[in-house]
């Protein structure tokens, strides 16, 4: 696999990785956005095969056992998420610019297997803004919010492991910066 065409986007929970990815999916068709497998239940509006492959734990662990995952992790101590290796290999083989939007544990695994990939850290403008985004999203219970904030503190401390930081102060601007980093022109 030519890892140079793979970009990994990671960052703390609720920083807006999903929003930036969605914006890229809608506005930059030349970016091939990896669709992860997850054991999490779909949120309202999420479609199987578009936002995630929603699989049960049995299917997920089968993918892991068969070494079909490029990386995988249990995120927030709860659900499993992983990148299916063959889908990324095929996209790279087809000359696509590949974007993986994954958590920090996954990013570290990709660094082991694809050290030439580009590692991008999406940072919030401030800690207060990150807390505001997490609470404001309203999709998690108070317990879950607390759990995710604890994870976010650890994730913020990992910024120096990345090649470059993009501040998500504005979604279209951050997306544009990311796409430019990937070597793609704006549409």
Write out the residues near ligand 5GP by the rule CB under 6 A: 13, 17-18, 36, 40, 71-73, 75, 81-83, 101-103, 105-106
Exposure of 132 in the CB half-sphere (CA atoms within 13 A): 6
Q: Are 37 and 28 in contact (CB under 8 A)?
A: no
Nearer Cβ to ligand 5GP (55/73)? 73
What 3-state class would DSSP assign to 111?
helix
Q: Are 67 and 82 in contact (CB under 8 A)?
A: no
By residue count, the chain amounts to 187
Nearer Cβ to ligand 5GP (123/187)? 123
Output the residue with the shortest Cβ distance to ligand 5GP: 106
Q: Kindly give the pairing relationship between strand 52-54 and strand 36-38.
A: parallel
Nearer Cβ to ligand 5GP (133/186)? 133
Min dist CB 185 to ligand 5GP, Å, is 26
Min dist CB 181 to ligand 5GP, Å, is 18
């Amino acid at each position: 696999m030519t890892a140079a065409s793979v970009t990994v986007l990671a960052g703390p929970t609720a920083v807006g990785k999903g929003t930036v990815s969605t914006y890229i999916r809608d506005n930059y068709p030349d970016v091939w956005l990896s669709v992860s497998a997850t054991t999490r239940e779909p949120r309202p509006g999420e479609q199987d095969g578009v936002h995630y492959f929603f699989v049960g734990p049995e299917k997920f662990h089968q993918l892991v056992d068969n070494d079909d995952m490029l990386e995988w992790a249990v995120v927030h101590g709860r659900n499993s998420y992983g990148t299916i290796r063959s889908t990324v290999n095929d996209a790279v083989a087809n000359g696509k610019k590949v974007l993986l939007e994954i958590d920090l544990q996954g990013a570290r695994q990709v660094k082991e297997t694809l050290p030439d990939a580009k590692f991008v850290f999406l940072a919030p403008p401030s800690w207060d803004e990150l807390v505001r985004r997490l609470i404001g999203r309203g999709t998690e219970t108070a317990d879950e919010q607390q759990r995710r904030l604890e994870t976010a503190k650890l994730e913020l401390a990992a910024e120096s492991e990345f090649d470059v930081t993009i501040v998500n102060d504005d979604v279209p601007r951050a997306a544009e910066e990311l796409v430019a980093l990937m070597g793609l022109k704006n549409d």
